[in-house]
Structure 1
Amino acid sequence: MRLLLSFILLGVFSLNGLANNDYFQFSSLPDLLPNSGYSVQPGLAGPYTGVNNDVLILAGGANFPDKLPWEGGTKVYYNDIFVLQKTEDKEYSWELMKEKIPFHSGYGGAVSTSAGLLCFGGNTKDKVISDSWLLRYIPEQKNVAVIPGPQLPVPLTNFAYAEVDNKIYVAGGISEVEGSSTNYFYCLDISSENPLDWKWEQLPAWDGESRAFAVGSGQSNGETNCFYLFSGRKVQPDKNPEALYDAHVYNPNLNKWSIISEGDKQDFPIMAGTAFPIGAATIVFASGADGEMMRKQLVIENQIAELEMAGNKRENEITQMKSNLLDHLNNHPGFGNRLIAFNTITQKTYQVGELPGTGQVTTKAVQWQGDVIIPSGEVRPGVRTSDILKININTDAKHLGFLDVLVIALYFLVLSWMGYFFSKRQKDTNDYFKGGGRVPWWAAGLSIFGTALSAITFMAIPAKTFSADWSYFMLNMTVILVAPLIVFLFIPFYRKLNITTAYEYLEIRFNIIVRLIGSLSFILFQVGRMGVVMFLPSIALNVVTGIDIFVCIALMGVISLIYTMMGGIEAVIWTDVMQVFVLLGGAILSLVLIMLAVDGGFSSIVEVAAENHKFNVVDLNWSLKQPTVWVMILGGIFANITTYGTDQTMVQRYLTTKTEKEAGKSVWTNAILVIPATFIFFFVGTALFAFYNFFPGELNPTFQNNDAIFPWYIASQLPAGISGLLIAGIFAAAMSSLSSSMNSAATAYATDIHFRFGLNKKVSELNLARRATLVIGIVGTLFAFFMATMDVKSLWDEFQKILGLVIGSLGGVFLLGVLTKRVNSISALIGIAGSIIVQIIVAIYEPVHLIVYSATGVISCFVLGYVVSLFSQSES
């Protein structure tokens, strides 16, 4: 029955995954209503547009209501406010509000804030303005409150802008009517609830031309959210405007600009266009002018001017040129219909679709109710549109074929069979928790290796090196430094005491309270860890199959629970052995296939990675807030002491071998394997960066987390069957840790709590152990469901945060017991309490990088406990 359920679930995600690669679907919302005093709405250019209280607001803007500009038409600016809302029957309806904005103006900025839609800058028919105002829609009264906002430092219009992490950035623009473009760069912090606290700040400008009609967007560069500046045109009085094609990025954390493109290859022909961020690292350009038609128009106009200076002798030529100009303007093809994506990590552009009509410029793309709205705007010079384009982003992606599903199903069958096989050998809790001491050292070592690396390695490490560099490399290398400490200090303690859990030692050394704190902290951590290692591959499976994330989590949790509950620690260790081969084999196979796909193979990958500084390993800056080498070494040493020295999932393996010497060999097996494995998984991410550098169009722009990059490659690029095998590798990576957490947390509960206090003696110890495994497995799965509702940018970071904040003090208290004789139970408890306080402060104020959280926990506990012991009676 259980196997049948597995096949049914696998069949479900096989069918649900049948998706295409049409990332964008288009539809139209109701056309914009006419402005006050008019019966027809030709459309508006430069409106202030945004969202407040779940309605779309469009205000101001300009058009030519009577005639086109070359026909003598006059440009009219408006102060009307329009509101679009969805009615109860899910129909959309526009309403022209009775309230007005302070100016007949347009071509400014508008950003949704907690206080309302902030509109700022722009121009009227005769002046550029610096004023700003907030538009707040009041649903109960169905009106709009217009509230004064913070003034820009200078009048400014036709600038680029975007909101990034509660800060509005404004770049370029024009400060005077018919004036020059500028290189102003301002920032407004809108994090305060009170707009009176908002103050504009001038920041250093980019290294490039001044510009107006540029395009701005916020998006992550793979590590931090940044402000991106594209294209535009340089404007100078009495000179022809110059189209710009360059791109720049401002990193707020570093307060620094970097050049993406100098524009010599016309990389970004998107002047006056619209852009919107999607996914984890993509900006989509929905429109923009390439400047070619403007250039042709200027050539004709310059020729006319030259002919007119020659006098009446050339009237026929002048008439012909004016006819040519009129023909050029009337037959302008518009601003294109290509959707272009820019990946902020690879810094490559590629086409991802086509608009159903002509692109709309001098307007803004607004994200509303899960869709992107492009309202009104200009479709060719002087010509507006009243159309409201809605873009729905389709996050369904590739699917697995029947052969892939069959491979994964067979993998699950093997796991279930192994649980059944080892269940026959479980006679008592010594078998269930310690494998009867009959596990070979090499199998225990492979199990330690698989448990420690897990899905965090298979997915998050390649994602980290894809989006950043090798700065985390030294973190893994610290295992070699810690291994002697584990082999010569911790293992002898645990083996001589003949204990089942590490926390039994804490009672022997201190008291029952310290033991319970240690054991309960470990159980809590394992529940959190289970959430991470189930949620991570579920994201991948959701991306590559389209199946719901919650079904993925349930499937993984149930299969792991089956073989863990049946077979105990032996089933866990031997399935780990198999999963390590799948995990490493899958990574190596992927590397080989990437090298075969890339022209030039290994050398090309290295060349591209080196050009983009992907091999940065050592950052010698003296900072504990950035991933410097000091952070990696310090954080890695203490994290590994905590993990390998006090974590029951590791300690339990030391107790499954026949002798202390074999336990030591298992630790060295793991330490030695870490070196090549680290190179392999770090290089997978680098190879993926090179692959998508060569083939940018193969990258999915919609996934919300870069942790999905490796699974996306697997599903979209590999042949049927091989994809299934590597997806099974993702399962292997997760389940090797998941099953260990279930079994070890159950061991901690049964030994440190249930058996210790003699609870419920009606149930046999072996059945109690299996029941504890069941409960903890269910709780961990439920926590993974909870995590699926959270906005988690990087699961590697989240895992490190949990590791440091939850069990940081455990390493400290174990070191107090092992390394000192005078520290008593009171001192240890005070050390733990003080460490918890320190960790809370660290989490709130973030004075150090999250990798160092383990170090702050261990050091604070050890130092506080030891200092207190100096003023209290010692215990031997």
Structure 2
Amino acid sequence: MAVPGDIGSFTAWDYVVFALMLLISAVIGIYYAFAGGGQKTSKDFLMGGRSMTAVPVALSLTASFMSAVTVLGTPAEVYRFGAMFTIFAITYAIVVVLSSEIFLPVFYRLGITSTYEYLELRFNKFVRLIGTILFIIQTILYTGIVIYAPALALNQVTKFHLWGAVVATGVVCTFYCTMGGLKAVVWTDVFQVGIMVAGFTSVIIRAVVVQGGIEPILNDSYYGGRLNFWDFNPNPLQRHSFWTIIIGGTFTWTGIYGVNQSQVQRYIACKTRFHAKMSLYVNLVGLWAILSCAVLSGLAMYSIYKDCDPWTAKFVSAPDQLMPYLSLDILRDYPGLPGLFVACAYSGTLSTVSSSINALAAVTVEDLVKPYFKDLNETKLSWISKGASFFYGAVCIGMAGLASLMGGLLQAALSIFGMVGGPLLGLFSLGILFPFVNSLGAIVGLLVGFTVSLWVGIGAQIYPPLPIRSLPKPLSIEGCNFSTIDTNWTLTTALPTVTDMLLEAQAGERPALADNWYSMSYLYFSTIGTVLAIIVGVIVSLLSGGLKQNVNRDYLLTCQDFDYLQALFPSSWGKESEKVEVLNWKTRDSDTYPEKGTDNPAFNDMEMHNTEKNEKVNGVNP
């Protein structure tokens, strides 16, 4: 098997492929900086003029959170722990249905730019401000991780300077986000998701050829215990099982697709609600495709390295470097293909970071600038939006340094979304699903959910679960050829035993909560935050007179929001819903829709309706 220094290195063609990916991404940003007269208003910059269609938005949604964390982390997860991760395919389907049928109708009807505008309409400015701050913190931390991820790949495969790669990632993303706005983000995502699939496909096809077909890969995976799809152990302390992935994964990913600004901003920028919903369902196909590629890559990696684990043998220094190691090992005779895989990992980062930067700029302008500087015109707001994109690009580069301290990329990324995204999901669920919840209940529920999920999340970082809770599948180095290895390399001849790992974990003092509460699966962090936020919010609202308030139906999920059920209701209900939706859109932007302010009675009625929204306090109509 391969030994250190025997897996090849980057050739000129690899650098050409990699450079082309960066160049095309930058050119797309430049094009949309000037196309159609440029980004004249903040709505053009942040929302693409609300003219996007379903397919490009769907591919953009897929690219954004199928990032380098997926490209590098998921195959390594499957290689070490088995194909249990495949169950996420079911989770993704549930998440898409919940997001498109519960959250999308309300957000789209209101014609908002920032999801946190909804919190002020439904509750008050203070709730909106808390939600905005939590989102900014969550996104900056997550973006730091996905910037750091491909830098590991580049450092391992090409020997590029680690932090030079980190800075390069941030600079390219910041450039085309600042130049082209949301349209540049969406169309670079479309290009980059193609690169991601191509990179995965090249590795899978070559691995199948090397192993003599798909059947040997599946046989090796079966006898190696990697085809462990159906583990129904209900123990919440088990890292991955059917229940942790279905329940915990659903809460985690609904927090991303249902209420996270980075995702919502794209699908509510579609030109019709039909396109918005279709973007989510087409995106589901993309999620399945990327997940299948990642799982197959992990199984192929196990089949190739089942007798010589590169990590145990110290050929790589971290599990997240296994995929770039594999790509350079099996693709070394095909110049350009190793560069394609590294471009694949890099594309995952560019798509995610660009979406995050654009979303951070949107919430900054809509939630922190416009409410307090009402005299700013659209030209100034457009420049502020670009300045915010540049600023957040720089901040995310700086935060990438924290990623090196957070352990495994996949678990760290999903842990952040769980700790922060769960309580936020609970907050939006309180507003949309419970008419009697008031601002007091919303605030208390959010703070309790966030405090508890942060408590368990930080506790799990300080006191990691005992290894017996998340033991990797057996790996071997018996087939490694160590005869030519440099004597400076430190080798591990055998995996540590369970007893060894337990003794090491128990060497330090652990509090009583460490072996239960802190050892809970990281996928349940979001579930805890969401459920607690909802339960506490409901109880506090009922105790503080929430049943007495009268909430505008526009802010709630109603029967009319289920398009396929409208045949069961009077036809006038559906028409009224369409009228409200159109009027909300029309009155959002006087530059885009000059009808606003005319003598049209319908628009004047809607103008008064929007004024009542702004004057409403604590969810009670004046």
**Matched residue type, 2:371:** R
Aligned partner of 1:766 in structure 2 is: 382
Listed as ranges, the gaps of 5+ residues in structure 1 are 1-349, 354-393
Shift in Å, 1:401: 1.5
C-alpha contact 1:475 1:635 (8 A) present in aligned 2: no
Aligned partner of 1:799 in structure 2 is: 413
Shift in Å, 1:438: 1.9
Aligned partner of 1:619 in structure 2 is: 231
Aligned partner of 1:406 in structure 2 is: 16
Write the distance in 1 (CA, Å) between the matches of 2:353 and 2:146: 7
Matched, 1:853 2:529: no
**Matched residue type, 1:814:** F
Write the distance in 2 (CA, Å) between the matches of 1:737 and 1:477: 23
Aligned partner of 1:865 in structure 2 is: 537
Write the distance in 1 (CA, Å) between the matches of 2:392 and 2:375: 18
C-alpha contact 1:407 1:724 (8 A) present in aligned 2: yes
Write the distance in 2 (CA, Å) between the matches of 1:675 and 1:597: 25
Shift in Å, 1:847: 4.8
Aligned partner of 1:417 in structure 2 is: 27
Write the distance in 2 (CA, Å) between the matches of 1:534 and 1:773: 16
Aligned partner of 1:839 in structure 2 is: 453
Compute the TM-score of the two structures, normalised by the length of structure 2: 0.75
Write the distance in 1 (CA, Å) between the matches of 2:96 and 2:24: 33
Matched, 1:435 2:48: yes
Aligned partner of 2:359 in structure 1 is: 744
Matched, 1:828 2:437: no
Within a 5 Å distance, the mapping from 1:264-343 to structure 2 comes to none
Aligned partner of 2:187 in structure 1 is: 574
Q: Cα RMSD (Å) of the superposition?
A: 2.0
Shift in Å, 1:672: 2.4
Please state which structure has a larger fraction of its residues in strand. Answer: 1
Shift in Å, 1:826: 0.6
Matched, 1:731 2:343: no
Aligned partner of 1:658 in structure 2 is: 271
Aligned partner of 1:591 in structure 2 is: 204
Distance 1:854 1:696, change over 3 A: closer
C-alpha contact 1:641 1:811 (8 A) present in aligned 2: yes
Within a 5 Å distance, the mapping from 1:180-195 to structure 2 comes to none
C-alpha contact 1:804 1:853 (8 A) present in aligned 2: yes
**Deviation per residue, 1:572-615 (Å, 9 max, x gap):** 000000111110121112111001111x3211111111000101
Aligned partner of 2:426 in structure 1 is: 812
Count of residues in correspondence between the two structures:
483
**Deviation per residue, 1:230-285 (Å, 9 max, x gap):** xxxxxxxxxxxxxxxxxxxxxxxxxxxxxxxxxxxxxxxxxxxxxxxxxxxxxxxx
Shift in Å, 1:506: 0.5
SS of residue matched to 1:764: helix
Aligned partner of 2:143 in structure 1 is: 530
Shift in Å, 1:759: 7.7
Write the distance in 2 (CA, Å) between the matches of 1:446 and 1:870: 42
Write the distance in 2 (CA, Å) between the matches of 1:777 and 1:760: 27
**Matched residue type, 1:751:** E
Shift in Å, 1:698: 11
**Matched residue type, 2:402:** F
Matched, 1:787 2:400: no
**Matched residue type, 1:624:** P
Within a 5 Å distance, the mapping from 1:53-92 to structure 2 comes to none
SS of residue matched to 1:400: coil
Write the distance in 1 (CA, Å) between the matches of 2:45 and 2:383: 10
Write the distance in 2 (CA, Å) between the matches of 1:521 and 1:464: 29
C-alpha contact 2:310 2:316 (8 A) present in aligned 1: no
C-alpha contact 1:473 1:617 (8 A) present in aligned 2: yes
Write the distance in 2 (CA, Å) between the matches of 1:745 and 1:465: 33
C-alpha contact 1:544 1:715 (8 A) present in aligned 2: yes
**Moved runs in structure 1, 4+ residues, more than 4 A?**
350-353, 694-700, 759-763
Listed as ranges, the gaps of 5+ residues in structure 2 are 460-516, 552-622
Aligned partner of 2:335 in structure 1 is: 720
Write the distance in 2 (CA, Å) between the matches of 1:573 and 1:688: 32
The percentage of counterpart residues that share the same residue type is 28
Write the distance in 1 (CA, Å) between the matches of 2:120 and 2:143: 27
Within a 5 Å distance, the mapping from 1:553-702 to structure 2 comes to 553-598=166-211, 600-626=212-238, 627-693=240-306, 701-702=314-315
Write the distance in 2 (CA, Å) between the matches of 1:446 and 1:503: 24
Write the distance in 2 (CA, Å) between the matches of 1:453 and 1:519: 24
C-alpha contact 2:202 2:337 (8 A) present in aligned 1: no
Shift in Å, 1:674: 2.0
Within a 5 Å distance, the mapping from 1:101-112 to structure 2 comes to none
Within a 5 Å distance, the mapping from 1:4-403 to structure 2 comes to 399-403=9-13
C-alpha contact 1:477 1:674 (8 A) present in aligned 2: no
Write the distance in 2 (CA, Å) between the matches of 1:502 and 1:551: 35
> Which stretch shows the higher mean deviation, 406-415 or 549-558?
406-415
Write the distance in 2 (CA, Å) between the matches of 1:615 and 1:865: 42
Distance 1:486 1:712, change over 3 A: same
C-alpha contact 2:2 2:329 (8 A) present in aligned 1: no
Write the distance in 2 (CA, Å) between the matches of 1:866 and 1:750: 31
C-alpha contact 1:435 1:570 (8 A) present in aligned 2: yes
**Matched residue type, 1:801:** S
C-alpha contact 2:252 2:421 (8 A) present in aligned 1: no
Write the distance in 2 (CA, Å) between the matches of 1:546 and 1:724: 13
C-alpha contact 1:495 1:660 (8 A) present in aligned 2: yes
Shift in Å, 1:488: 2.0
**Matched residue type, 2:59:** L
C-alpha contact 1:397 1:546 (8 A) present in aligned 2: no
**Matched residue type, 1:680:** C
Distance 1:813 1:546, change over 3 A: same
C-alpha contact 2:453 2:526 (8 A) present in aligned 1: no
**Matched residue type, 1:728:** A
**Deviation per residue, 1:729-776 (Å, 9 max, x gap):** 111111110100000111111111011211894981111001000111
C-alpha contact 2:256 2:421 (8 A) present in aligned 1: no
C-alpha contact 1:420 1:563 (8 A) present in aligned 2: yes
Distance 1:457 1:515, change over 3 A: same
Within a 5 Å distance, the mapping from 1:508-519 to structure 2 comes to 508-519=121-132
Write the distance in 1 (CA, Å) between the matches of 2:310 and 2:296: 22
Shift in Å, 1:716: 3.0
Write the distance in 1 (CA, Å) between the matches of 2:80 and 2:305: 12
Distance 1:821 1:715, change over 3 A: same
Write the distance in 2 (CA, Å) between the matches of 1:737 and 1:812: 24
Distance 1:422 1:351, change over 3 A: closer
Larger Rg: 1
Distance 1:489 1:403, change over 3 A: same
Shift in Å, 1:696: 6.2
Shift in Å, 1:691: 1.2
Distance 1:438 1:711, change over 3 A: same
Shift in Å, 1:548: 1.9
Shift in Å, 1:842: 1.8
**Deviation per residue, 1:176-228 (Å, 9 max, x gap):** xxxxxxxxxxxxxxxxxxxxxxxxxxxxxxxxxxxxxxxxxxxxxxxxxxxxx
**Matched residue type, 1:766:** S
Write the distance in 1 (CA, Å) between the matches of 2:176 and 2:75: 29
